[in-house]
C-alpha cells in the first residue's frame, strides 16, 4: 500500500485560486488559495476604501474646529483630558441606537477617524514653571528676573528693575538676616566688603510675592500666576528662589477656556475696534471630559 502523498501542483493551485475569486457582499474582492487555507483580500483595488481610518493632528483650536465641522455627524464625540492638555475627536463614534439583532443599545462603528489637538504650553510658561523651586545665587536670580521681566505684573517694572540692579551690583557683600515687614516685603540686611573689611550696611527689599501675567497655552488668554518669594542665608551667601501657587488651577482654567472656545466659539476684539467671530463646533457634537 502506497501512503505517499502527491505534492500539490502549483499551476493547479493558481488556477483554482483564480476560479475562487469572489466578492464579499459584492464589494470586496478576495481569493481563497487551496492548500494555504487563507483568504487574500484586495482592498487596494477598490476605487474608495470601505472604512475610513485616519488620524489627524491639528496645531490650533481654530484648525481643530474646522476639521471637526467638516467631517462630524450627530454621533461624533470629543474627549477632553484637561490636565493632560489633549483634546481628541472621534468622528465615527458609536451610534446610540437599539439593535434588536444582538440586543444592544449601540450601533457600533469603527471609531478609526480621529482628530487630535495637543494644546501646547507656551515656552515662557514652561520656563517659569521649570524654574519654580530651583535655588539660585543672587546673580543667577537677577539674570532670571531680567529675562522674564516682560511677563511679571507685580511688582511694577520700576521696582523690579531696581531689585535686579541691586542684586547684580551687590556681589561683594555679606548677607546677615532677613525679616518680613508689615508692607508685605522681605527686607534683607547686608554689609558691603570694602578693602577686605566690613563696610557700609545696606538693605535689600524684595516683595513677598511675585505675580506673573502669562499665557499658559499657545493662543490662549493671559492668566495671573502668583509665586511666593523664598530665600536662605548661609555663611553670608544668599540663595533665592520662588514657589508657584495654584499652578494646576491655572492650567485647568486655560484648558476650560479652550474647551469653551471649541464648544461655543469666541469673538476677538482688534485694536481698530473691529471684531472677528470664530465659530465653535457643531451643536450636535458631544463634548466629554475623559480620554479613550
- pLDDT, tens digit, for every residue of 134-185? 999 878 888 888 899 899 998 887 787 777 777 766 666 666 656 555 555 6
- pLDDT, tens digit, for every residue of 227-265? 998 888 777 777 888 999 988 899 999 999 999 999 999
Pick the range with the lowest mean pLDDT from 7-21, 63-77, 110-124, 260-274: 7-21
* Three-state SS at 70: helix
pLDDT on residue 81: 94
CA 29 from chain centre, in angstroms, equals: 43
pLDDT on residue 31: 77
Angle between helix 138-148 and 123-131 (nearest 10): 160
Higher pLDDT, 258 or 98: 258
202 pLDDT exceeds 90? no
List the end-to-end C-alpha distance of the chain, in Å, as a whole number: 63
Contact 221, 159 (CB under 8 A): no
pTM beyond 0.95, yes or no: no
Higher pLDDT, 43 or 15: 43
Give the angle 79-85-91 at the CA atoms, nearest 5°: 30
pLDDT on residue 11: 45
Distance of CA 41 to CAs 24, 29, 88, 233, 288, Å? 9, 6, 32, 75, 38
- pLDDT, tens digit, for every residue of 23-55? 555 577 777 777 777 877 777 777 787 788 899
Higher pLDDT, 30 or 194: 30
- What confidence category does residue 78 fall into, taking pLDDT thresholds of 50, 70 and 90? very high
Amino acid at each position: 500500500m502506497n501512503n505517499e502523498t502527491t505534492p500539490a501542483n502549483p499551476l493547479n493551485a493558481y488556477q483554482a485560486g483564480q476560479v475562487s475569486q469572489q466578492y464579499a457582499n459584492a464589494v470586496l474582492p478576495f481569493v481563497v488559495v487551496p492548500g494555504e487555507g487563507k483568504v487574500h483580500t484586495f482592498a487596494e483595488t477598490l476605487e474608495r476604501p470601505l472604512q475610513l481610518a485616519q488620524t489627524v493632528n491639528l496645531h490650533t483650536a481654530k484648525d481643530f474646529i474646522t476639521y471637526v465641522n467638516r467631517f462630524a455627524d450627530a454621533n461624533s464625540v470629543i474627549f477632553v483630558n484637561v490636565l493632560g492638555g489633549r483634546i481628541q475627536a472621534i468622528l465615527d463614534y458609536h451610534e446610540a441606537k437599539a439593535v434588536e439583532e444582538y440586543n444592544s443599545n449601540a450601533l457600533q462603528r469603527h471609531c478609526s477617524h480621529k482628530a487630535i489637538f495637543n494644546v501646547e504650553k507656551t515656552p515662557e510658561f514652561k520656563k517659569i514653571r521649570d524654574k519654580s523651586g530651583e535655588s539660585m545665587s543672587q546673580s543667577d536670580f537677577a539674570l532670571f528676573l531680567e529675562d522674564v521681566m516682560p511677563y511679571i505684573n507685580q511688582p511694577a517694572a520700576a521696582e523690579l528693575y531696581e531689585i535686579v540692579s541691586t542684586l547684580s551690583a551687590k556681589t561683594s557683600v555679606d548677607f546677615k538676616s532677613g525679616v518680613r515687614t508689615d508692607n508685605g516685603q522681605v527686607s534683607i540686611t547686608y554689609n558691603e566688603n570694602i578693602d577686605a573689611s566690613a563696610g557700609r550696611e545696606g538693605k535689600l527689599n524684595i516683595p513677598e510675592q511675585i505675580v506673573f501675567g502669562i499665557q499658559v497655552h499657545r493662543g490662549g488668554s493671559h492668566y495671573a500666576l502668583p509665586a511666593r518669594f523664598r530665600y536662605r542665608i548661609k555663611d553670608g551667601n544668599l540663595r533665592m528662589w520662588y514657589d508657584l501657587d495654584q499652578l494646576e488651577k491655572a492650567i485647568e482654567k486655560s484648558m476650560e477656556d479652550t474647551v469653551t472656545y471649541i464648544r461655543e466659539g469666541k469673538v476677538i476684539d482688534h485694536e481698530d475696534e473691529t471684531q472677528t467671530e470664530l465659530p465653535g463646533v457643531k451643536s450636535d457634537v458631544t463634548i466629554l471630559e475623559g480620554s479613550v
